[in-house]
Amino acid sequence: MTPAQPAPLRKAVVPAAGMGTRFLPATKATPKEMLPVVDKPAIQYVVEEAVSAGLTDILMITGRNKRALEDHFDRNQELERILQDKGDQDRLRKVRATNDLAALHYVRQGEPKGLGHAVLCAAPHVGDEPFAVLLGDDLIDPRDPLLARMAEVQRDHGGSVIALMEVDPAQIHLYGCAEVALTKDADVVEVTSLVEKPQPGQAPSNLAVIGRYVLSPAVFDALRDTPPGRGGEIQLTDALERLLATGDEPIHAVVFKGRRYDTGDRGDYLRAIVRLACEREDLGADFRTWLHQYVTQSLPHSP
Ligand code: G1P
């Protein structure tokens, strides 16, 4: 008998229940996932990334005030009709682009009990198969396909796969942090322990967990057993550390060296927009010229 093929990765979970308090008042009535990065809402980049990695079923974990997310990925027949009547094919194409990207599903988290709790809300939908988790604050440049590589590593090694990135040691307290051992693949390490947002000076490395995961369904049991951790919330990192401690399944990590844009706080969000706008084929040339002039002529020179 040939061994059973591992289940292919089909499902993605996108936690999107956060209140977005760092972006108030913009997020008072608008989900932070809908804030535009150039001219597309952040959530659309994330869904497009999942789709290009071959995922066909996407579950968003939402909450109050998140109706706009569902509307964005649904048809808007009135708008389509108006654009059609005007013969504006270009905008019609943009409006239609989000209609049928994937099978989208929504579940509400109800209480803000943390990222781990949000992922646990996906358990009935995911069932007994590996699944991806994509956090909307991290945008990964489509030219540096991370998720497809993680899926490949998960197929080869089983268990779960996370994504790590080297950060300035002064920043590691903002992230989950991993202790690792090398493998024969230069971009893959085996995770030996994890800690969520270590105290300054106590981090085991400068390898930060970034917001892409390919998880074994065993993480759901680990999450059920995980007590609240940092910030009084149920942390996904703590559940993964629990899973490691059982020794039942490995956790590997892809060490990402590509382009990642953080949209999680206002400064990073602005930097992401400027970088992406500079690189856009349709906007980039004019915008770069303006930006150069602005920086060299309008801003006071630093001493
Ligand atoms: C979450 C995770 C953390 C990870 C980070 C990546 O933290 O808990 O382990 O490093 O995402 O963006 P958050 O930024 O939501 O506080």
pLDDT digits (tens, 9 = 90+) for 72-106: 998 999 999 999 999 999 999 998 888 888 999 99
* pLDDT classification of 254: cutoffs 50, 70, 90: very high
Q: Is the CB of 138 under 6 A from ligand 1?
A: yes
The CA 302 to ligand 1 mean position distance, Å, reads 34
Residue pLDDT, tens place only, 191-204: 999 999 999 889 99
Which residues make beta-bridge pairs with 254? 163, 188
* pLDDT classification of 288: cutoffs 50, 70, 90: very high
48-59: average pLDDT:
96
- E runs forming strands in 183-297: 188-196, 207-215, 251-255, 260-262
The CA 138 to ligand 1 mean position distance, Å, reads 9
11-18: average pLDDT:
95
Six-digit token string for 212: 């892409």
- pLDDT for residue 8: 84
Residue pLDDT, tens place only, 117-141: 999 999 999 999 999 999 988 999 9
Is residue 42 within 8 A of residue 33, CB to CB? The reply is yes
The CA 93 to ligand 1 mean position distance, Å, reads 34
- pLDDT for residue 55: 97
Is residue 132 within 8 A of residue 217, CB to CB? The reply is no
Question: CA-to-CA distance for 33 and 17, rounded, in angstroms?
Answer: 9
The CA 191 to ligand 1 mean position distance, Å, reads 17
Ligand 1: residue of 46, 133, 137 to mutate (most ligand atoms within 8 A of CB) is: 137
Q: Which residue has the tokens 């990135």?
A: 165
The domain at 11-264 falls in which architecture?
Answer: Alpha-Beta Complex (3.90)
Q: Where are the domain boundaries for CATH 3.90.550.10 in the chain?
A: 11-264
Ligand 1: residue of 14, 33, 46, 115 to mutate (most ligand atoms within 8 A of CB) is: 115
Q: Is the CB of 58 under 6 A from ligand 1?
A: no
Is residue 163 within 8 A of residue 153, CB to CB? The reply is no
* pLDDT classification of 32: cutoffs 50, 70, 90: very high
Q: Is the CB of 27 under 6 A from ligand 1?
A: no
Cis peptide upstream of residue 25 (ω within 30 degrees of 0)? yes
Nearest CA to ligand 1 atom 13: 175
- Which atom of ligand 1 is found nearest the CA of 208? 10
- pLDDT for residue 15: 96
Six-digit token string for 51: 């789709």
- pLDDT for residue 36: 96
At residue 3, does pLDDT exceed 60?
no
Ligand 1: residue of 14, 23, 140, 209 to mutate (most ligand atoms within 8 A of CB) is: 209
Cα dist from 57 to 49, 54, 72, 110, whole Å: 13, 9, 16, 22
- pLDDT for residue 20: 87
- pLDDT for residue 12: 98
Work out the mean pLDDT of the chain and round it to a whole number: 93
- pLDDT for residue 298: 79
Question: CA-to-CA distance for 213 and 46, rounded, in angstroms?
Answer: 13
- pLDDT for residue 112: 85
- pLDDT for residue 302: 57
21-30: average pLDDT:
93
55-60: average pLDDT:
97
Q: What angle do CA 61, 63, 68 make, to 5 degrees?
A: 90
Is residue 14 within 8 A of residue 102, CB to CB? The reply is no
Is residue 180 within 8 A of residue 139, CB to CB? The reply is no
Q: Is the CB of 134 under 6 A from ligand 1?
A: no
Cα dist from 91 to 73, 87, 159, 272, 284, whole Å: 16, 9, 43, 24, 19
Six-digit token string for 167: 């950060």
The CA 236 to ligand 1 mean position distance, Å, reads 9
Cα dist from 287 to 36, 134, 140, 141, 215, whole Å: 17, 30, 22, 19, 40
Q: Is the CB of 238 under 6 A from ligand 1?
A: no
Nearest CA to ligand 1 atom 15: 115
Residue pLDDT, tens place only, 106-123: 999 988 899 999 999 999
Residue pLDDT, tens place only, 201-232: 899 999 999 999 999 999 999 999 999 999 99
Mapped onto helix, strand or coil, the DSSP state of residue 157 is helix
